[in-house]
Amino acid sequence: MELFRTTFVAAASRRARTRSYGDRGGWVQALITAAALLAVSTASFFTTAVAAQAQDRPVKLVVFGDSLSAGLGLPANEAFPAKLARALKAKGLVVDIADAGVSGDTTSGGLGRLEWSVPDGTDGVIVELGANDALRGVDPKITRAALDQILRRLRDRGMEVLLAGMKAPRNLGEGYARGFDAIYPELARAHGVLLYPFFLDGVVTDAKLNQRDGLHPNAQGVDVIVGRILPKVEELVTRVRAKSRS
């Protein structure tokens, strides 16, 4: 009521200054003007309130990957999703992260479980798959096709994506490595998703950052991964927030 009263008085005052003698519709016009202004103000208020509410709710992320992101050999609170959540919180970002990593999973396996591993309502997905494909020497065409479908389905569901790249072991030959490594940047460009070129960057060749198997990062290795990928995850969150404002 106070908003209406203030708007009405202001409109009426402006009309009173400009109307001439015999202008009997002046007050009616003032009332119409005030009502219109009130409608605009109310719509603007609710639009702002809805946008603010969308910005306040946690961004829902899913880490969709294999043992590298699931934290094989580590306590749950030392695994990648948990440490990433803490790093984002330290940045002041309100984010919920679900761990959808399955040890031993390939890109084809991920494609098969995509719908139930990434539930409706998810805002963004970090896709970390392909290491097991490379270790098993899977044809890069099969890996590419599976990842292509994963990205396509996630984007069709309106989810923002960060694709975490992988590199093939060099002992599989130059040709295999070249074909495999190219999958990630090419698919990221094709689907317009964010790319972190190599999930194990800075970790894979450092024995101090890996467990005894030489394949999986230890807690210190996870810290390195989180620190390096964090700017890209922040960019993912920014994309989600921008979409909620539009």
Q: Which of 20, 156, 213, 246 is catalytic?
A: 213
Domain residue limits, the chain? 2-54, 57-245
Tell the residue number behind the tokens 């001439």, with chain if given: 20
Q: What is the pLDDT of residue 56?
A: 72
Taking only the tens place, the pLDDT of each residue in 115-125 is 999 999 999 99
CATH architecture, range 57-245: 3-Layer(aba) Sandwich (3.40)
In terms of C-beta density within 10 A (0-12 exposed, 13-18 middle, 19 or more buried), how is residue 73 classed? Answer: middle
The kind and range of the H/E element at 23 are none
**pLDDT classification of 55: cutoffs 50, 70, 90:** low
Closest by CA position to 100, among listed 136, 128, 78: 128
Taking only the tens place, the pLDDT of each residue in 170-214 is 999 999 999 999 999 999 999 999 999 999 999 999 999 999 999
Q: Is 69 a catalytic residue?
A: no
Q: Is 213 a catalytic residue?
A: yes
Rounded distance, CA 121 to CA 108, Å?
A: 23
List of residues 6+ apart from 26 with CB closer than 8 A: 15, 16, 19
Q: Which of 66, 133, 181, 216 is catalytic?
A: 216
Tell the residue number behind the tokens 């065409």, with chain if given: 141
Q: Are 165 and 197 in contact (CB under 8 A)?
A: yes
Q: Which of 67, 69, 108, 117 is catalytic?
A: 67
% of the chain with per-residue pLDDT over 90: 76
Q: What is the pLDDT of residue 29?
A: 57
**pLDDT classification of 244: cutoffs 50, 70, 90:** confident
Taking only the tens place, the pLDDT of each residue in 125-154 is 999 999 999 999 999 999 999 999 999 999
